[in-house]
Every structure is written in structure tokens, then in C-alpha cells.
A and B are shown apart, each in its own frame.
Chain A
């Protein structure tokens, strides 16, 4: 398959200045996104998945967050080296982003229409106000908001959470981006709305052919929407594989743990749930060697001294574990 690589992240390292010192929230992360593909970034809280996405958008909180090294190549152009004003043309135009919390992600004092229209005004300055208004209504219709002519005049507080996330998607997709970064877009919504939003994103993707980077901690969502999955642990990639491979033959003990922690319907009732013992290591003082060692049942001597590298299982499946062949 001659799929075109759209976005390539190479050896990304992102650090945060804290009062206690510098911590590396993302270390040596590389993956690529092909046209029309959906990549899932999965991992528990603090594993660096959101920081990775914010680094791509260069939206890290200033002045604490800083990209130390690496490249983010969009059509072979390094976004990290772009001047600020050129980056503004990328954001919202070629790469858009939606966030976890739809309740606070919209400006409370501006009308919905104005907030969608702003994206058009920024990236398609040739459009006049009437066209922008019509297009905004059209966007609301596309994301499945009933009575868009009326909603466009309303303020965010007049909409429900699901509606607001749809508005966020409308804003993000207004300028037909090549890539949509969705940072836990369904986490704050209840399950039925989650399903609707996922369905909506999938159908919009089919219609527009955009790529999606989907960040979540919900493996169920990953299985539903993603083509490829990147599992992150403590700032590093643990495993990277096509979604079927990952669910059928997970190689990393962490991925295996995550998958076995999902309760299954065929399990006998009132059974103790599977967990991964222990907690994520403190990024301030990481252990030497593998970062997963203190929670890993396969830990051996080399795990404590040598950091595992991302090894090739096959042409599409990569894992970062010393003992993946044995387990």
C-alpha cells in the first residue's frame, strides 16, 4: 500500500520546568500518521499522551513547557522550526484540535456562530460575513445539531455537554484540516453521547478523508475507531502496532496488563477485577533501565540497568521490552 505519510513525529522530547526541577514528560516518541488514518494514543494519566499532542500543536503551557528536541514533520516541513505567525496558519487550518472538557472549552460570552466563524475569518479571509454565517450554520448541521439556524445565535451555556463537543468539532473541522487531534473528546460525556460523538467523528472522517490522532485511556474506544495504536507509558512508547495486532497479540507486559484489566462479559460474576499492581513511577526520579520494571512480573536483571529500545516484531509492530520474545 502506497499510503502517503502526512505527519511524522521523530524523537520528540518535551520537558517541563517545575519548582523541583526539570521533568521529561515525553521522551523519544516517534510515530507517523498517514492520510485518512486514525492513530490512537493510549496510556494512563500522566503518561505523556496529551503532552505529545500539545507539542505537535505547539500549545504547551508557557513558560513551563518546552520541546527539547525532535521533529514534527508535516509534509516534510518541521513545525517546531516554524515562526509563530506561520504556525498560526497551521493551527485550525491544517491541524485542528478538540479537547476533553467541552464545558469550558468554549468562550462563555461569545455566540456559537461567532466562535465557529472565527476559524473561517482567520484562515479564509476572502469569505464575507454572510458566507461565514451560512457556512457556520452548515457546519452545525454537519455535526448533527438540530435547528442550527437557531443554535448559531445561542451562547455555550445554553447547550448541553454533548452539543458543545459537537460545536467544538464544528470549529475544528470548519477549515477542513488534514489532521484532527482529539484529546479525550468523549471522556467528559456520558456513554450514549460518547457513542454518538465517535460515530460522528468516523462519518466525518469518511467524508473528508482527514487523519485523526485519537488520545484516550479507553481501550474500548481505541478498538472502535483506530487503525493503529501507540501505547505510552511514563513518557515513552511501550508498544506500537496496528489495532488488530495489538488486541490479538500484545507483546509488551504493560499492554497485556491493560487488556486483561478490561472486564469481560463472559467472566464469572462477582470475580475480582484484574489490575496492574503498583503505580506509575515519579517522573522526577525514574528508575534506571525499563520504566515499567517495578510493576512487571517478567522483570529480570537487564531490565534494571538497560533501557529497552523499540524493537521490531514485524514490519508494523514495535515493542520496547527486553523480553518480548519470551513472553
Chain B
């Protein structure tokens, strides 16, 4: 088992190289980038100073001289071939240097580090709450199949699934937060957070996160709940449950002592993926609730062609995703003794 997981960890390396190489190449091939941004900025500056220097510079294609552009290319490493500059970038990654943002001129790692706790909080809480809701609900629905509770919860869960998260976010933002003033309008913590007692701080975080969490999770219930319900129902109809009842077990104990663990196997395969998926966040929900998380950072950096941040976020999320896969395997091995890794 140990050797299997060591092998899996080693396989992370080539996968990681593949992901980053592809994205790195794309950032080089698509138009736009820090140099174009600086050119645009320079042009704007020229325009505002245009009254004094006359119209000649406006007709120029570029406000910067070719030498200046060459210098900029050198500064950002665009003068080298893709592969060489990729290797340069990779070399820095290995010593945990993610580079410097081309927008803020701050180290990328510092920027990401600021957002990480927020994203981790939402990611972990969402995952835990999703499982806490979906597993009991799925069990209840399986046992009470075709009952009133089963049908109503199906309708609710499916409506949640059909609504895009950001629409829910907007609805929650407009009514419970803005109109009725039940919840804060957004943000992760209040401005006077530092002055609060610990209990008040905890309450503050919870109070701020209720609406975003609903928006994050509402679509996630359906898959997990139905997966739980359907696998449990399959197992309830299986021969070994009949054996268990023939042994003298009550139906309830047969469900919880025999069928339940078997039904967790497919859920366990999702566990690692879910946690990394939620961690990466959803920029639209972050945007609505003004949460400063990784999702929003990644999206804005992409729009602004801030490639060091784009790649930095990619490094974090892809490593989490790859480790999440291994975590899933581990969870499966934990619940299913038939799974042996050698």
C-alpha cells in the first residue's frame, strides 16, 4: 500500500509538468500580455500629455521605441524561446518563487497567501457541509423511497441543481442581504474585526459566510444526494442484506451495519476531487459577495494578462487536484477491503 502511494506521488510530477507546460505555452501564444499593457499605459500617458507634445506621437504605432520594447521583453523573459523560459520559471517554482505580479509588482506568493485562508475556509466548510447534508439525506430518501419526504426533497435538491450558483448568489444578495438586512452585504469579515472578542470574531465569520456558502453548495447537493440514495437502494436490494435480516437483524440495523458502508464507496471516490474543486472557488460568487478568494484572483489576473499570478494559481490548484485524487484513492481503500494497491 505504501509503495503504491509513493508511486502515485511520483506520478504527480510528470502530470504537473504537463499541465504547467501547456498553460505556460498558451500564455505565450495568445495576444496580450504585460508588454502590451505597458504600451497601452504609455499611450494613455502620451494622450493626457498630448496637448504639449503635439499630435505626432498619436500617429506612431507605439509610444515606446523598439529599444525600450526590447528591454521590456528581456525584463519579462520574452526574449527567450518558450521552452527555455518555461524551464527558468520551473526552476524558480522549485525554490517556491512564483515570480512577481505584472500588475501589482508584488511577489505572487504573497498575493496568493493573502487569499488562501479565505478560499480554504470556504472550500473545507463547503465540502464538510455537503457531505453532512447529502449522506443523511440520501439515506433518508432511500429508506423512505417514494414517500412525501423523498419527493419534496428531490424537488428542492433538483431546483438547487438547476439554478446556477451565481444566480442564487444574486438573489441572496438582493433580498436577505440588501433588502432585509439579515446578513452583511459581502466581504469575508467586518471592518472592525480586529476589535472583536474571539466569540464575536467566530460569529462574524459565520455571519458573513452563510449566504456565500448557500450559493456555493446549492448545486452540489443533487449529485451527492442521489448518488448516496441510489447506491444505498441498490445495496438494500442485495442478497447480503437479505442474509443479514435472515440472521435476525432488524431492517434498520441491516441498513446501518451492512448497506451503509458499502454505499459510501462511490462517495469516497469523489472526496478528494470535491475538496480541491471547492477550494478553487467560483469567481462569480466571489464577485457577488466581494470575497477576496483564489477564484476571483485567478479570473482577474487572466483578464488583465497577469501571467505570473495565473500560473501561480494554476500551480496551487493543480497540485491540490492531484493530491485530491490520491486522497480519493486512499478513502476508497479505507472503506473497501477488496481494494488492494500493490
A93 and B240 in contact (CB under 8 A), knowing A109-B261, A110-B258? no
Chain A 144-181 residues near chain B, CB threshold 8 A: 155, 157, 168, 171-172
A84 and B250 in contact (CB under 8 A), knowing A107-B258, A108-B338? yes
Query: Within 8 Å of chain B (Cβ to Cβ): is A315?
Result: no
Query: Within 8 Å of chain A (Cβ to Cβ): is B239?
Result: yes
CB-nearest residue of chain B relative to A88? B248
A100 to chain B, nearest CB (A): 9
Chain B 26-64 residues near chain A, CB threshold 8 A: none
B341 to chain A, nearest CB (A): 15
A59 and B246 in contact (CB under 8 A), knowing A99-B239, A108-B240, A155-B338? yes
In the bound complex, residues from chain B placing their C-beta under 8 Å from that of A105 are: 239-240, 242-243
B101 to chain A, nearest CB (A): 50
- A110–B247 alpha-carbon span in the complex (Å): 15
A122 and B247 in contact (CB under 8 A), knowing A104-B239, A108-B262, A110-B258? yes
In the bound complex, residues from chain A placing their C-beta under 8 Å from that of B239 are: 99, 101, 104-105
A109 and B335 in contact (CB under 8 A), knowing A99-B242, A168-B243? yes
B1 to chain A, nearest CB (A): 15
Query: Within 8 Å of chain A (Cβ to Cβ): is B337?
Result: yes
Q: How large is the interface on B (under 10, 10 to 19, 20 to 34, 35 or more residues)?
A: 20 to 34
- A171–B240 alpha-carbon span in the complex (Å): 12
Chain B 56-84 per-residue mask, 1 if CB under 8 angstroms from chain A, else 0: 00000000000000000000000000000
Chain A 290-312 residues near chain B, CB threshold 8 A: none
Q: How large is the interface on A (under 10, 10 to 19, 20 to 34, 35 or more residues)?
A: 20 to 34
Chain B 319-342 residues near chain A, CB threshold 8 A: 335-338
- A168–B249 alpha-carbon span in the complex (Å): 15
Query: Within 8 Å of chain A (Cβ to Cβ): is B223?
Result: no
B267 to chain A, nearest CB (A): 14
Chain B 234-266 residues near chain A, CB threshold 8 A: 237-240, 242-250, 257-258, 261-262
Chain A 68-125 residues near chain B, CB threshold 8 A: 84-85, 88-93, 96-97, 99, 101, 104-111, 118-119, 122-123
Q: Which one, A97, A123, A155, contacts B246 given CB within 8 A?
A: A97
In the bound complex, residues from chain A placing their C-beta under 8 Å from that of B250 are: 84-85, 88
The 8 closest A-B pairs by CB, nearest first: A92-B248, A92-B247, A104-B239, A107-B240, A97-B246, A122-B248, A105-B239, A91-B248
Q: A109-B338, A155-B338 are in contact. List 20 more A-B contacts (CB 8 A).
A: A57-B246, A59-B242, A59-B245, A84-B250, A88-B250, A89-B248, A91-B247, A92-B246, A92-B247, A104-B238, A104-B240, A105-B239, A105-B242, A107-B240, A108-B337, A108-B338, A109-B261, A119-B247, A155-B337, A168-B243
18 chain-A/chain-B pairs, Cβ below 8 angstroms: A85-B250, A91-B246, A92-B246, A92-B248, A92-B249, A96-B246, A96-B247, A99-B239, A99-B242, A104-B239, A107-B243, A108-B240, A108-B337, A109-B261, A110-B258, A118-B257, A122-B248, A171-B243
